[in-house]
Structures are given as structure tokens and as C-alpha cells.
Structure 1
Amino acid sequence: MNKKEQNPLGDWRLHWGGNYGNINNYYSNKTENESNSSTIAEDKEEESLKDSCVSCCLSQNIIESLMQRIEKLENVVYEFTKDKKEKFQNIEQQNNENKDKTANLEKIFYQKDIKINLLESEIKKQISDLQSNLYKYLFEFQIEINQLKKDNETNIKIIKQKNKEKYQQLESENTNKISYLEEIIHQKDVKITSLEKDNKQTNNLIQSLEKKIKQNENEYLNKINVLEENIQQMEGKLLEIKNKMDSKSYETMDNLNKKIVKLTEVQEDLISYVASNRTKYIQIKNKWKNIDARRKCCDDNCINTETPSRLCKNGNGFIDIIDDTNIIYNYNYDPMTGKDNTAWIDAENRFNKPKDNCFFASLFYYEITLTTEKILEYTCFGFRNTEGYIVLADGYIDYLSPLNAKEIRYKIPSFSSNCGDIFGFGLVFPSTKMLEKRPYVFFTQNGKQIGKAISLKEEDGECFYLYAVLNCCSIEANFGNDLEARPFCYDISKHLFAEEFFN
């Protein structure tokens, strides 16, 4: 057995005291028996050595096996003592915890006993108070009952006396009424007899009247026959007069119908002329809404449709939608930290071709006021859809159609722009009766039309978004949401269907 195995056993003996003594005795007795057996084996071995070498080898094997058994026993004792030590520590820990819990419980029980005693004393006091109050109340109640009995007896006597007096009074009154009613009945009988006599007389009069009515009926029948003959004669005369009048009215009606046909032809010509030239304004309430993600303020796209009102966090110049109609451009004042980028923006609602039958041409229109110096490069306004666009730039009208491979540009003669100028953008769809006409776009400046209109092709589509391209330019739009408070600069009521076109 090595030193590492002996030291834990020594510590365990000191800690456990008497418990280990029993185990030690067991262990010492067992080792003594084994040592005795080993000595006997050694004696036998010495004797056997004299006999042969084979017996010597056997004794060595026995000793080795005994030593191995001793080591196993020591290991078993160590493990056993170690396990008992841990269990004892756990028991002590639980014992200490239980002591604390029992102390707390005893304290709680003591406090509860005090509270119970206090409650019992309070309850006894309240019960005694209630009993005294109850006795007092019962005594007072009994006094009130006795008083009420006395009062009721006197009241009953008074009521009986009053009822007796009323009965006597009613009896005298009823006798008087009965005598009065008997007298009235006698008078009624007299009247009935007189009425019977009158009834007989009236029956005689009715019979005489019936005779007279029969005589009058015969006279009236004769008069009616005479009237019927006169009516037949009058109807013959009326037929003659009607035939004469029909011949004359036919001639006059024929003349009137011819005049009506001429008037309807003139009216249709007037209506077609008015319809071919007159336009009707269609109000579409709108606001700036969609920022095209293909033209971003920066790679982070921090200014977009969801967050349209802010500064670019990377310092680039870009638009800022401050409300439904106003857009300001926040410039980049330091070229070293950023640049001014172009923004594409659409209004929320688009202009669609009317689907119903329209008597007049449909006019859609909106205006933009420049709040910067002028229309700068890369800035334009107008209409667009998925097929193309038609916009007003700095002195030009740019038109891109699916039929054209490239953009077509039309120059507006003597064009200039300044801060405060109001530009208008109109889209006109012809009426359903104007089959030969095509939709077109026109532009205005400060209430007057500029340049010629642009005729749209069928491939351009039937719906258009209100569109702006802004670079270093701030604007304010008038979408016609409230024309009474803020009318257009251009008088749309006087707009006639265009006759001159660039294309």
C-alpha cells in the first residue's frame, strides 16, 4: 500500500473517531488472520524447500495473491469511508437548515398566537357591544309597539264612527235619487207613446211620396229619350266638322315636320362643332408621392418614397418633399464631401383615359411654380408611363414614344424661365364622337400656351403619371385640389381642341 492511499485513511480516522475504530478493528483482525495464514504458509514453505523447488514457487504465488487482496480491501475501506463522510456532511447541512426553518416557524407561530389572542379579545368585545345595543334596541322597539297599539285603537274607534255617519248619509241620499229616477221613467213612458203615434203618421207620408216618385220617373224617362235623339244628331254634325279639320291639320303638320327636320340638322351641326372644339376639365386630386429608386441620393438610398423628407446622410444634394405640393432641393455646398444628384418623382394618382361615352373632350391639367431662379440642366416636367414620356425642358419639348428608337426634341421659340414662373401641363383625350382625333399634350407658361401641341400615338398608352425630373431646382405644384381657393393661372374653361401640332 503506497503513501497516497494511507494519508486519506489517516485523515478520515481523525475526523470520524470512534466510527473508524470499529472499521479498523475489522480491518486489523482480517489482516492478522491473513498474516497468520501467511506465516503458516512460510513455515510450510521452509519445510517444502527442503523437499523440492516446486513447493517454493507455490508459496511465492500465495504471498503475491495475499498482498493483492490486502490492497483491494484498503481501496474498499477508503471508498466506503469517503462515501460515509459525504453523506454525513449532507446530513449535517440539512440539520442546520431544518434548525433555521424550525426557528422561523416557531417565531411565526408565536406571532400568530399573539394575533389570535388579540382577535379573540376584539371579537368578545364586539359581541358584548352588539348584545348591549340589541337589548337597548329591543326595549325601545317594544315601547314603540305599545304606543302604536294605543294610537291604533283610538284611530279605529274614530274610523268606525265616521263610517257609521257616512252610511246613514248615503242611505238618505239614495232614497232621494230612487224617487227622482222613478219620476223620470214615468216621463219617458209618456214620450214613447207619443212617438209611436208620430211614427204611424210618417209611414203614411212615405207611401204617398213613393207614388209621386213613380210618376216623376216616367216623365224623366221620356225626357231622356228625347235628349238621346238630340245627341245623335249633334254627333253627326261633329263628324262633318272633324273631317274638314283633319284635312287642314294634315297640311299644317306636314309643314311643321319639315321645319323640325331642318332645325335638328342645324342643331346636330352646332353640337358636332362645339364637341369638336370644346374640352371639359376632369379634376383628379393629387400629391407628390413616389421617388424613383433608379435615381438615388446615394448608395444607401436614404431618401426614398417611405422617408421622403430628410437630408442625405452622405452629404449629397437631393430633393426633400416637405408636403403634398412643395419640393425643395437641398444643395451640396462642399464638392469634396458629395455632389448634387438628379431625382425622378411621380404624383400619387395618374391621368386615365375616360371609359364612358363622353360628349366633350376630356382635359387633365396641373401647374408647377418655380421657386428657384430658372429651369436648370437635367430638370424637366410633364407626363410619363411605362411606354415613354413627354416633358418640358429648358426651351425644348422632349418626346419618347415606343414607335421612336430615340427621343424627339422640339424647340420652343424665344423661351426663357425665371423664379416665380408658372408652367402648366395639359393632357387632352378626344370625345367618343371624334374618331379621327388623337390625344395630345400641351404646355403653358404664366397663363399662356407655349409652342404647339404634341399629338400622341395609340402605342403611347391610355394612362400617364405626373412626372418631374429635378436637379438643383425647387418647385410648388397646383394639382387643382381646391380651385376656388387656388385657381389655375391658365383659364382652362377657354381651352379649345388643338388644331396645330409639332408632329
Structure 2
Amino acid sequence: MAEEGLTNSDLELKLVNQSNDLIKLQTNFNELQMKFNEEKEKTFNFEKKITFLENELKEMKEKNRKLESGYKNEIEQVNNLFEKKIADLTIKFEQLNNVTRKVVNFVEIKNKWKTIAGKYIKCCDDNCINQSNPIGNCIKGNGFINLINDEYIKYINCVEGKGEDVDPVITAENSFKRPQNCFNYSLFYFEIKCKMERELNNCLNWMSAIKNEKEEEFKLSTFSWNDNDVFGCGLVYPPTIVNEFPYIFFTQNGNQIGKALLSKDNFDYYQPYVVLQCCSVETNFGNNLETKPFVYDISKHFVLKEFY
């Protein structure tokens, strides 16, 4: 039944118009949907491109970081090599300078008196004074030494009319060994303070000495001395880079005695020793120069050029 007041034609026309409007709305909606999808696709592609660019940027930053780190490590390595080269050249310069200026470096080694030897190894046939029993009087009345401690040797005179004064050799525990690959002149040195226990016309006129591995002795042949004099014996090894031999020198009360004695070969070691008769000695091996310095100023010792 047609609406009131409208003819069938009018109704049909109205329906047609409404239908057309719906079609237009659907068409517009579809167009908007397509545009939305297109924009959505564009947005997705844009976001994808942004993500790609962000990843590219991260990779570039990482490459730059690695590159900078690599250059930094190379620069540090070059700097370290350069500093090491400078240090090595400085050391070599100082070594060559020391050789040129004939500077001597004191070699400190811990030492002590240890072995009793010599022509008369024993105080008597009973050997009552020995390494195991270094302190006491000879039962035969002979004069002999007592090893009181590491640095003090006491001579006990013979009983008058009964025995004789024996002159033993006492050697140090450690020898003066030739330094290996050394660029400086090396000084070994020790001193003894002598205390006369008896005045004898034939008393030994030498005490502090040194010998090499072939038992060749280096000592002064003649010199005069008084009670409580301090004698020193020094050995100077040349640097390994120069063609020279070691030499031995002696001091008395802080002053050098005569000329030095030049060795004929570069022996590997020299052993300090003393020969005592009616004389006690207090020794300074240089074990602690801060509290017990040498009488001879070793800091002023320069390489000697005059020899016997």
C-alpha cells in the first residue's frame, strides 16, 4: 500500500533515490577504505624503511666504533713501542756513558768467613780447633784462630815455650763471580781491621788477599802497618762489551796502596781470604753499608789505569 499522499510513481522514485544514495555511500566508503589501506601500506612501508635506516645507522655506528677502537689500539701500540724504544736507547746511552766515563758500580753480596785451610790446616795433629769446634784453645798450646762469628776472627797466641804460632788461611763462603752480560765496571770489595795480638819480627806482612779459580794469588808483597789499621781488597770486572781484564787493588785506612794488579785472564771467580798469625781481624764484607760503611769511599773509585 502506498504511503499516504504519495503515488506509486513517487514512491518508486524515492526508493530509487535512496538506493542511489546508498550506492554512493558504499562507493565513498569503498574509496575511503582503499585510501586508508593505501595510506596504511604507505605507513607500513615508511615504518619499515625507518627500521631499515635505523639498523643501517646502528651498523655504521658499530663499524665506526670498531674502526676507532682499532685505530686507538694501533696508536697505543705505536706509543708503547716508541716509549720502549726511548727507554732502551736511554739505557744503552747510560751504559755507554758509564763505560766512557769509567764509572764503577759496587756489587753487594752477603758473605762471611767459613773455611780454615792452608799449609797448616790443623792447629795440631789432634785437630782440636776445626769447623765443628771453631772456638777454643789448642791442647798442644799452638797459636791458632777462633771463628768467633761471621766477620770476627780472633787469634789465640801460642803458649810460650810450648807451642808455635800457626798461620792458617781462612776463606770466605762466597766468591766474587764475574757478572754476566754486564755493561758497567763491577766492583767487589771487603775490608778487615787488624788487631795485633803479639809483635813478632817475622810476623806475616800480608793478610788480606784474593785468589782466582786456578789458586793464583793476588797480594801485595811488602807494606808496613800499625795496630788497628784497616786494609781493603777490591776486584774490578770490566764490562762484557770491552776487551779488558779484571784487576785487583788494595787500600789501607781508606787510601789506595800502590798500583793495581792486572789479571792475565777473565777468570769466572775470585775468592777472598786472609792469612793470620798473631793478628785478629774484624771484617766488613759490605753486608750493610748504611749502618757499617767502608773506610774506603767506593763511590769515588774510578777505573784504574796504572798496574804493576
TM-score by shorter chain over 0.5: yes
Aligned CA distance change for structure 1 residues 268 and 282 (closer, same or farther; 3 Å): closer
Equivalent in the alignment of 2:233? 425
Structure 2 counterpart of 1:441, from 224, 228, 248: 248
CA distance in 2 between counterparts of 1:474 and 1:483 reads 22
What is the CA distance between 1:374 and its match in structure 2? Answer: 9.4
Aligned CA distance change for structure 1 residues 374 and 299 (closer, same or farther; 3 Å): closer
Q: String of CA shifts for 1:311-345, please: whole Å, max 9, x gaps.
A: 1011111111111110111112422x112121111
User: Equivalent residues in 2 for 1:118-133 (5 A)?
Assistant: none
Do the aligned partners of 2:95 and 2:183 also contact (CA within 8 Å) in 1? no
Equivalent in the alignment of 1:234? none
Which amino acid in the other structure matches residue 284 of structure 1? I
Structure 2 counterpart of 1:384, from 198, 211, 216: 211
Aligned CA distance change for structure 1 residues 289 and 374 (closer, same or farther; 3 Å): same
CA distance in 1 between counterparts of 2:199 and 2:239 reads 34
Q: String of CA shifts for 1:323-370, please: whole Å, max 9, x gaps.
A: 1110111112422x112121111111111112x211101211111111
Structure 1: runs of 5 or more not aligned: 1-203, 222-263, 396-415
Deviating above 4 A after TM superposition, structure 1's stretches of 4 or more consecutive aligned residues are 207-210, 267-271, 373-376
What is the CA distance between 1:210 and its match in structure 2? Answer: 5.9
Which amino acid in the other structure matches residue 252 of structure 2? Q
Is 2:304 the counterpart of 1:501? no
Aligned CA distance change for structure 1 residues 449 and 330 (closer, same or farther; 3 Å): same
Structure 1 counterpart of 2:298, from 482, 487, 492: 492
What is the CA distance between 1:487 and its match in structure 2? Answer: 1.7
User: Equivalent residues in 2 for 1:28-43 (5 A)?
Assistant: none
CA distance in 1 between counterparts of 2:226 and 2:112 reads 24
Equivalent in the alignment of 1:345? 170
Which amino acid in the other structure matches residue 381 of structure 1? S
What is the CA distance between 1:420 and its match in structure 2? Answer: 2.4
Is 2:269 the counterpart of 1:463? yes
Equivalent in the alignment of 2:43? 211
Aligned CA distance change for structure 1 residues 375 and 484 (closer, same or farther; 3 Å): farther
RMSD of aligned residue pairs (Cα, Å) = 3.2
Calculate percent identity across the aligned residue pairs.
Answer: 43
Equivalent in the alignment of 1:94? none
Structure 1 counterpart of 2:288, from 475, 479, 482: 482
Q: String of CA shifts for 1:371-400, please: whole Å, max 9, x gaps.
A: 2279972242110243310124650xxxxx
User: Equivalent residues in 2 for 1:313-462 (5 A)?
Assistant: 313-335=139-161, 337-354=162-179, 356-372=180-196, 377-378=203-204, 379-385=206-212, 386-392=214-220, 394-395=222-223, 416-435=224-243, 437-458=244-265, 461-462=267-268
What is the CA distance between 1:471 and its match in structure 2? Answer: 0.4
Do the aligned partners of 1:343 and 1:469 also contact (CA within 8 Å) in 2? yes
Q: Which entry has the higher C-alpha Rg, 1 or 2? A: 1
User: Equivalent residues in 2 for 1:148-159 (5 A)?
Assistant: none
Which amino acid in the other structure matches residue 214 of structure 1? F
Aligned CA distance change for structure 1 residues 270 and 486 (closer, same or farther; 3 Å): closer
CA distance in 1 between counterparts of 2:143 and 2:112 reads 22
Aligned CA distance change for structure 1 residues 464 and 440 (closer, same or farther; 3 Å): same
Which amino acid in the other structure matches residue 449 of structure 1? Q
Q: TM-score, normalised by structure 2?
A: 0.65
Which amino acid in the other structure matches residue 303 of structure 1? I
Q: TM-score, normalised by structure 1?
A: 0.41
Aligned CA distance change for structure 1 residues 375 and 315 (closer, same or farther; 3 Å): closer
CA distance in 2 between counterparts of 1:287 and 1:421 reads 20
Structure 2 counterpart of 1:300, from 126, 132, 140: 126
User: Equivalent residues in 2 for 1:32-431 (5 A)?
Assistant: 211=43, 214=46, 271-276=95-100, 277-292=102-117, 294-295=119-120, 296-335=122-161, 337-354=162-179, 356-372=180-196, 377-378=203-204, 379-385=206-212, 386-392=214-220, 394-395=222-223, 416-431=224-239
Determine which structure has the larger helix proportion and give its number.
1
CA distance in 1 between counterparts of 2:262 and 2:198 reads 27
CA distance in 1 between counterparts of 2:251 and 2:173 reads 22
Instruction: Give secondary structure in 2 for the equivalent of 1:427.
Output: strand
Instruction: Give secondary structure in 1 for the equivalent of 2:219.
Output: strand
Instruction: Give secondary structure in 1 for the equivalent of 2:46.
Output: helix
Instruction: Give secondary structure in 2 for the equivalent of 1:371.
Output: strand
Which amino acid in the other structure matches residue 423 of structure 1? F
Aligned CA distance change for structure 1 residues 270 and 334 (closer, same or farther; 3 Å): closer
